[in-house]
Structure 1
Amino acid sequence: MRGLPGSIDVEKFTEARAYEIDAMQKAIKTAGESTTHRAWQTLPRHLRRRAASHDVRRVPLRLREKARAEMDPVKRRILGRGQQPKRGKAKQVNRTESLLKRQRDKSWLETHIWHAKRMKMENMWGYRLAVTPTEKSFRPSHRASVHGSILHDASYYSLIEIKGPENIIQHVLEICCDPQCTGMKRSMSGARVLETDIYGPGSYPLDLIAPITIMWRPLPAGTTSAPMKAPPPEGSSKRKRKGKEKQSADATPQSSARTVWICSHPAVHDDVFDALHKSASLALEAEQQRHKDVYAEMEIADLRGSVNVFEIMGPKASQVIKGALSPVADEDRQEFKTFWSSLANLQTTASLPRGMVIGMKVLDPRLKFPPKNAKLRTNDQHAATPAMTFPAAILAQSEIWDEEKRSALEKPKFKKKDLDERRSKNLVPGTPLNPLRQDDRIPLLLIQRSLEAPSSAHGIHGWTLIFPAGWGMSFLSSLIHTGTRVGGQRERGTQAFEAGIPYFPRDFPSTGFYEKHWSERAEEEKAKWERTPPAKRANHEKLGTRSPWRADWEVVLGLPLASSGDEDLVPAQREPQDTMEVDRVPTVRQWLLHGPEVPAILGKVAQMFNHGAGLLAEINRFRTKRGMDALDASRRPEDLLKGALIMVRVKMLGRGAPDVLANIYCIDDAEAKKWIKEKDKKRDDAEKNETPEPVPPHSSIVGYVTTGNMSLSRGEGFAIGAVPVLALLELQQQAQRCGELLPLVKIRDRAGIICRAAYLELLDS
């Protein structure tokens, strides 16, 4: 004890023994975790795998020794790599061959393997596509689209290219596109894209095929007319040429050679291609009759697989793109420099003109990996505002339109391992690579994309990124490293639902693919219902549900029932008082009234005494505007009105969230006034004694809900459906009698027993 000091400085003693104290604390923590947690339980949730306990290679390197020690010795010996039998060299299958063998009946996107590891996949429209992430991400994906950014690989969409004289291409589009569209001439400069609908050639308003997006290739700066290209050589693949073989020295008067891209849903690719092919034949015949001594030719090509398309939605999409992409240094367009310098300060693309196109050329995004999001400077008053950037043809210039340059970029010059080797030679780790002359320069298009309704405040805005094929994973790795979420088909459809706009094909009745889509869905739901025990499933017969598996629009419209072999979906035996009188006139056809001018059309029709004559006059006015003949005189106005459907939004008067295929019932004036009086009461008092009521008769069904759920952006139930035009006109007259602005109806789920009041709002697109 004599050698011990009389006093001790605690601070100095602790500093001197800091290493031993820290080691003791770590030992205590490690010992506690080793007894209560296994290796994979210490991982964060996003790194956990179901098979982690059976394969140590699925565990991070720092925990593999611990995981290997925790394995059962018998399993360790069986699962050991050295114990696996090996094939002989003659029987070994190349990895590329094995992956191609799995794509015999469907196609994979370039990002398929990345998606397949993280998302649930299904065969859809000839592709193997991601449906939804495996993790619970419904609400996080919605928050990302509203407050952050979310990415969707839409490279599966169909792309068709048309080349030919400008006036003939314009005539082709006028024959088959929606005549209500007013932005055709504005989009011909190439500075904007045009979103419209495509119909059968000359069949408007019948034979609706699908929504499409039209993109014109902008002419070079200072060019107003380009010479006609020589006819392409015979035997070109994936291309159809329409024209007369008669040669002429001069091209079509006052027409330049233009290129147009038409993007559509992959399920209707053949229908869209055939419609454009027939329209081109009609346009060329008309041109030949006007100018018999003029040679004209058009080329229609299938560009599926030539480009990749990413949809990046959300207010932070601009900062993600600005941080992940780097334009080339030799960019000399002042308009693009102004736009790119102000892109980081863009809080939302809603402030930009709709459909604006920006063409650019960027460096290999892997050179800048890992990227960093651009910072939003909100306090800088002198920062350039992107709202001052207007669409211009020179701003939309891009080399991605050139087929030769796209083909040259199908395979990157350098692999990832080559770039990693260059990165390892940097003196400072983590610094971006300096671009070399040999590095690729990728042309791309940046298109403003908005999902919004004119009368709604719940829009979702972002960008569409189009770049050549072969660069899918290069761009995806950089974009998702910035914290951007990735969504599948469910997330894309939810964005349209939250924005309050229809989504193809589920919300487009009377189209060909709508029938196929709902037929397949009806078979799946009915098979699942039949597998469910009777005590655990809804009894649709007792509930009084007329058509539980699909919407019977023929019965709602009063048309003859189609003999399609699905008679079991619609019960044939109904009570006489509930059976609607079916008109057996064969001239009545089901069709959908859709377009931006629908509110104006419906307003004019409602003011006329004869609604059918007013509707026919408006349809013929739009047909004449596009140079089409008026509808055949044999088509009676009352038949046209009787077969017309129109899309509506369903806004609940109180609580409740309509489900898919919920019935929409009409009500009489007395019941409507009763609901109007009750809506002014407090919600608790009005719903305290809520009791089921008798199911309304089948004859009062005026429509069905095509998409319905609880809307996260609205905080209440919301739905999109369709009703006959004739029924909507009657409901609007009833609303005027009751002093309401919107028609009032009742909604009942197909498996529900309670009817709830709701307003119908015209869905203007």
Structure 2
Amino acid sequence: MESNLLCYDESHDGRVQLQNEVDSSQFNEERITEMKTMLRTMANTEKQTKLMHQSLPLHMRRRAMTYNPKRLPRKFRAIHLAQFNKSGLPEKKKRPSRKYRRKANVLLKEYERRKKTNVWLETHIWHAKRFHMLTKWGYKIPYTATAKSYRACYRATAKHCLLQDISYYGCIEIQGEESLLRSKLKEFCSEKVGLTIAAKAFLNGRRSGYIWLYEKNQYPFQCIGRVRFVWKANDAREKRTLWIFAHPIFYSKLVKHLVDAFDLKNTVFTPMDMNEPETTADTIPPRMVRTPKYVNNSLGVVILELKDTLNYFRLTGPLSHVTLSKALNIYPVSNASQSSHWYSDWIQCPINKRTAIEQLAFWDKVKHVTSTGEFGPGVVIGLVVEDPRLNRPNKRTKALPPTLVVPQHSFPDCTTQTALSPLWDSTIRDRIVKEMQTTHELNQLREKQCLVPGEKCAFENSIQPIPLLLIQNTGSQDGEFKRLGYGTGWDLIAPAGYGLALWQTLIIWGAKPAGLKEFDMQALEAGTDANMIPDTVLGQNEADFEYNKKLEKYFSRPHNRRVNYKKLAIASPFRSLWSQLVSEWNASKNSKFYVLRDQESLNKIHLSLDRKYNIKSVDLPPVCLVPVYLTIKTRGNPGDNALICLPHRQDFRQNKSQTQINDNGPVLVEPLRKDPFQKERHQLRKMHLRQLKRLRKRRIREKKNRQRKQPGTLVRIAKPQNRNLIQEQLAKMKELWLPAVPETIRNQCSRECFGYVTRTSFSLIEGKVTAVGYVTSRGLEKLFRICTKGSFKVLIRGTKTRCYRFATLKVRLE
């Protein structure tokens, strides 16, 4: 019977009509596949291994179904949850929101966890947001700012104030009788290098100094490194205290040598007794400080390791003193009666009260000094100042000296009282950390008591002051070598807990923050070597680190993308082989060498370069390296690890002719050499690939044979055991590319090599490319025979070029 009802299409003038009957046979044929699947599933219920979300059709599956049941259809969710609960899998918790993860207590726990691998400075949080951080020497150290600041940092050192956090330098405290300390410490240094720790200029505690330390009675060999020291100013000479600040690379080694020298025994670690301050978002509580202690009761000598217990800041530049005078307010003696902190107990002693009054009068006279260079070299000043968080302008302000200064009195002398500081007392340092108020607490007090914004509150007089120690840095004292006074400034030593507060106060008063990169820049601008000193522990460690990094990068490239140093006649492109160089110039197998630091010998060499002294009368040791400062005469930067070579007479004539026509090209181009191992490397590579291919075919053949014996099963074979084979091949290729012990260093190219450049950079002071390096004493004597007239010049050649260029040579004096 036909229906008169219209379908949807017919109502819109369509021609399609609904069927009135269904063909049962056709319908059953279309459903037969689904029925078979259903019957097979019902028959194998006991062997079913799929989960509910795995049994769904492919178009309904989602990747997130395993941990999010809401991705499944509603009717299957209960079965899915039952299956997962039966398997005993833990319930997936939702990841905490960012708001929760940024809470103060959660952040602090995360920070403490991350500090376990590398020590954080107190200014780490401030630096991590603005600087590239570097993992080095067991610390997280700021390397350089994320913004362009290289030239700005130079301008700060030359005209303004540069601020650096070098708190990774560790402090060693030695206590004992003065005569005993002087006699023992003399064994680690020499008077030929300069004033020692036992010099009278430093014993009164008014001045600090630098000294090169060696292993016991091993001068001039076995140099440990350069340290800064300061004696505690004290009239009683029987019992003295000495602080030594050492680099973290050789800090532990120096402690070991001192313990052995005084025959000390280690005692139990003494954690500082302090309460955990309230945790807030803007401050991190000081970590539990541990000071290892070594004692010898018979001699009365005690050594304390004060590493990571003091903040050590360095201010460099002519405005360093002005910045400090603006940022630091001397704590008035009258406020001691209004509070109950450590200062009220300390000031009760008449000697301490007299010291505080004298320091206040001294600072009032010198705080308007326009330059740090007006102070004596290495002057030590002790101050007790107000909390630096109370002395900040509303916005960042550059501290400037007064436009007109009328001297009303003569410059005051530094006395023993001005050099004293409560910072030397360990109990006071512990109380300072314990009684410190957090920034959050200060802000809460301001909200309650501050009626007029920006005005001083009444509670600020009761906040504890902090003791500081200021040590003057001399800077350049030779105007002919470098700009007079460049590098002058202050070293600021503060107790633990106040690092970030003091750092932010100095910055808001105009100091320019800098990192480790600017530290090296400053050393190069001053004409010194910061880290790459060949005979020191630090220099050897840094050289090995740079060598391994560059070598790994070199061999990570394909063989046809590597610089072929055999063709360039470069024996060691990534490190300076000082031992082999010295032994070749002396024609001996003795590999021991040292850097010449004898002031008398260096001054004689300096006079010889000015044609005022005969180099033959200096009597240089044959195994010493002479530190030199080089200035490239023409364009080009040879880079680090460049060769210092002796010129020929024809090179001087070529240079003279080029100078007349204003030609800045190279004086000499090294002829391209042939690589004697190129064919051997090609054959080894070819044989190695052929062997690997043969082993691979053997594994494939073995797999096919096993598959024939076990048809229908999955056959697995062991992984290729080619690791040793590949390692041996890599070692052979490395030796053919860059041998560990070259045939020769002195005669590796057409000009005799007698030294290496350790650091090279464009000097913003001189406007030229400058470098610091070391040359052998025998090679320097030969240079004197070659350069009979005019200035002394050497040839410099980079490791990636064949061009030689002339450079003038000077001797670096301490």
Establish whether TM, by shorter chain, passes 0.5.
yes
The alignment partner of 2:549 has SS state of helix
1:135-534 correspondence runs (5 A): 135-180=147-192, 181-182=194-195, 184-219=199-234, 223=235, 225=236, 256-281=238-263, 296-330=299-333, 336-337=359-360, 339-370=362-393, 374-382=399-407, 388-424=411-447, 425-434=449-458, 436=460, 438-452=462-476, 454=478, 455-458=480-483, 459-503=486-530, 505-506=531-532, 508-532=533-557
2:594 to 576, 586, 591: 591
Question: How far is the alpha carbon of 1:596 from its aligned partner?
Answer: 3.6
Structure 1 distance, partners of 2:149, 2:471, is 27
Distance in 2 of aligned mates of 1:466 and 1:689: 49
* Alpha-carbon shift at residue 443 of structure 1 (Å): 0.7
Given the alignment, which residue of 756, 762, 765 partners 1:704?
Answer: 756
The Cα of 1:516 is off from its aligned counterpart by: 2.2
> Quick one: distance in 2 between partners of 1:689 and 1:270?
47
Which deviations, in whole Å up to 9, do the C-alpha atoms of 1:699-736 show, x marking residues without a partner? 7111110011111111001000001122112223433x
Measured in 2, the distance between the counterparts of 1:118 and 1:522 equals 29
Aligned with 2:125 (options 94, 102, 113): 113
Q: What is the CA deviation profile of residues 239-282 of structure 1, one whole-angstrom value per residue up to 9, with x for unaligned ones? A: xxxxxxxxxxxxxxxxx100000111111012211232333349
Contact 1:175–1:279 (CA under 8 A) maintained in structure 2: no
User: What is the Cα deviation at residue 359 of structure 1?
Assistant: 0.4
Give, in angstroms, the shift of residue 392 of structure 1. Answer: 2.5
- Match of 2:303, SS? strand
Whichever residue aligns with residue 171 of structure 2, its letter is L
Q: Is the CA contact (8 Å cut-off) linking 2:629 and 2:773 kept in structure 1?
A: yes
Specify which of 772, 776, 783 is matched with residue 724 of structure 1.
776
Q: Which amino acid aligns with 1:756?
A: R
Contact 2:195 2:211 in 1 (8 A): no
CA-based RMSD: 3.1
Letter in 1 for 2:387: D
Deviation at 1:610, TM superposition (A): 8.5
Deviations 1:504-542 (A, max 9, x none): x21x10223322211111121222233456676643232
Displacement of 1:142 in angstroms is: 1.0
Residue of structure 2 in register with 1:714 after alignment: 766
Is contact 1:308–1:472 with CA below 8 Å preserved after alignment? yes
Q: Who is 1:681 aligned against?
A: 660
C-alpha distance in 1, partners of 2:130/2:616? Answer: 59
Q: Structure 2 vs 1, CA of residues 732 and 112 (structure 1 numbering), >3 Å: closer, same or farther?
A: same
Equivalence for 2:741? none
Task: Report the AA paired with residue 499 of structure 1.
Answer: A
Deviations 1:479-523 (A, max 9, x none): 1112322111101111111011221x21x1022332221111112
- Provide Cα deviations, 1:149-181, integer angstroms capped at 9, x if missing partner: 111111110110110000111112211023222
Count of residue pairs brought into register by the alignment: 579
SS at match of 1:361: strand
- Of stretches 528-537 and 258-267 in structure 1, the one that deviates more from structure 2 is 528-537
Q: Deviations over 1:323-379 (max 9, x none)?
A: 111111127557534542344533321222111110010111112233755541232
**Distance verdict in 2 for CA 1:422–1:384, change over 3 Å:** farther
Residues 1:437 and 1:610: Cα distance change in structure 2 (over 3 Å): closer
CA deviation profile, 1:117-147 (whole Å, cap 9, x unmatched)? 1111121111111111111111111111111
Question: Unpaired runs of 5+ in structure 2?
Answer: 1-93, 265-296, 334-352, 673-746
- Residues of 2 paired with 1:338 and 1:457: CA distance? 35
1:200 is displaced (CA, Å) by 0.5
The separation in 2 between residues aligned to 1:343 and 1:433, in whole angstroms, is 28
**SS of the residue 1:460 aligns to:** coil
1:450/1:460 contact within 8 Å kept: yes
Within 5 Å, give how 1:619-698 maps onto structure 2.
Answer: 641-672=621-652, 674-675=654-655, 677-678=656-657, 681=660, 685-687=662-664, 692-694=669-671, 697-698=748-749
TM-score by length of structure 2 reads 0.66
Query: What is the distance in 2 between the residues matched to 1:261 and 1:689?
Result: 51
Looking at structure 2, the residues matched to 762 and 495 of structure 1 have their Cα atoms a distance apart, in angstroms, of: 19
Aligned partners of 1:103 and 1:357: how far apart in 2?
33
Q: Which residue of 2 aligns with 1:543?
A: 568
Aligned partner of 1:758 in structure 2 is 807
Change (3 A) 1:464 1:136: same
| 3-state SS, counterpart of residue 414 of structure 1 | coil
SS in structure 2 at match of 1:345? coil
Q: 2:565 and 2:497 mapped to 1: Cα distance?
A: 51
Q: Is the alpha carbon distance of 1:137 and 1:375 closer, same or farther for their aligned partners in structure 2, counting shifts above 3 Å?
A: closer
Q: Secondary structure at the match of 2:810?
A: strand
TM-score by length of 1: 0.70
Q: Residues 295 and 535 (structure 1 numbering): CA distance in 2 closer, same or farther, change over 3 Å? A: closer
The DSSP-based 3-state class of the residue aligned with 1:714 is coil
Q: Give the 3-state SS of the residue equivalent to 1:755 in structure 2.
A: strand
Change in 2 beyond 3 A, CA 1:392/1:601 = farther
Are the equivalent residues in 2 in contact too, given 1:138–1:491 (CA < 8 A)? yes
Match of residue 4 from structure 1: none
Give the direction of change, closer, same or farther, for the CA distance of 1:757–1:414 in structure 2 (3 Å limit): same
Distance (whole Å) between structure 2 residues aligned to residue 353 and residue 703 of structure 1? 37
CA contact (8 A) 1:178 1:204 kept: yes
Contact 1:368 1:432 in 2 (8 A): no
- TM-superposed CA distance for 1:668, in Å, is 2.8
TM-superposed CA distance for 1:670, in Å, is 4.2
Shift of 1:438: 3.3
Larger radius of gyration: 2
Between the aligned partners of 1:609 and 1:597, the Cα distance in structure 2 is 14
8 Å Cα contact 2:666-2:803 kept in structure 1: no
Are the counterparts in 2 of residues 355 and 449 from structure 1 also a CA contact under 8 Å? yes
Separation in structure 2 between the aligned mates of residue 581 and residue 465 of structure 1, nearest angstrom? 46
Letter in 1 for 2:195: T
Query: Would you say the 8 A contact 1:411–1:470 is kept in 2?
Result: no
Residues 225 and 537, structure 2, Cα contact 8 Å, conserved in 1? no
1:201–1:278 contact (8 Å) kept in structure 2: no
Q: Distance in 2 between matches of 1:493 and 1:451?
A: 15
Q: Shift in Å at residue 747 of structure 1?
A: 0.2
Pairs within 5 Å for 1:16-55: none
SS of residue matched to 2:808:
strand
Q: How far did residue 101 of structure 1 move? A: 1.5
Letter in structure 1 aligned against 2:109 = E
Any conservation in 1 of the 2:586–2:778 contact (CA below 8 Å)? no
Q: Give the AA of the match of 2:226.
A: P
In structure 1, the residue corresponding to 2:122 is in which secondary structure?
A: coil
Deviation at 1:207, TM superposition (A): 0.5
Residue 73 of structure 2 corresponds to none
CA contact (8 A) 1:322 1:373 kept: no
Please tell me whether the aligned partners of residues 625 and 777 of structure 2 are also in contact (alpha carbons under 8 angstroms): yes
Q: Structure 1 regions of 5+ residues with no counterpart?
A: 1-82, 227-255, 283-293, 560-579, 616-640
- Deviation readout 1:559-617 (Å, 9 max, x if unpaired): 6xxxxxxxxxxxxxxxxxxxx89523x5x512111254442465799858687xx45xx
